Amino acid sequence: MAPEVVKSEQEWRAELSPEQYEVLRQKGTERPWSGKYVSNHDDGTYHCAACGAVLFSSDTKFESGSGWPSFTEPAVADAVELHEDRTHGMVRTEVTCRRCGGHLGHVFDDGPTPTGQRFCMNSLSLEFTPKS
């Protein structure tokens, strides 16, 4: 599906930090344990750092021990899109923001119940809004 938010690479570079641009637009990955949301336990909502779309709820966040913020499912099922990723000699499932196409991370089938999934996201691709 084509993204709703379409911008030139120059516009994305102007709006995002260099680190966010690397992750969201060039499919980079932040170092494990370096992200600001790995140990965040506050109640609230995680949004796409590029376009503001609601992506994940703190209700589905869990400690995976992976070094990245992990969730059992998106806040809204169609908020993300899944794509086969064959980079780095592996076969994984990439997770992107449906609204802007930004790279968020990957999903794995080794998460806890009820979904059995681990949406392993980059903190740089997220913005957190605390519950008021």
Catalytic residue among 51, 97, 100, 120: 120
Residues composing the chain: 132
Q: Which amino acid is at 66?
A: S
d(CA 59, CA 45): 9
Burial class (CB in 10 A: 0-12, 13-18, 19+), 92: middle
Q: For residue 120, indicate whether it is catalytic.
A: yes
Q: Which residues pair with 128 in a beta bridge?
A: 46
Q: Is the dihedral of CA 58, 20, 33, 81 positive or negative?
A: positive
Closest residue by Cα to residue 24 from 127, 112, 131, 93: 127
Active site residues: 120
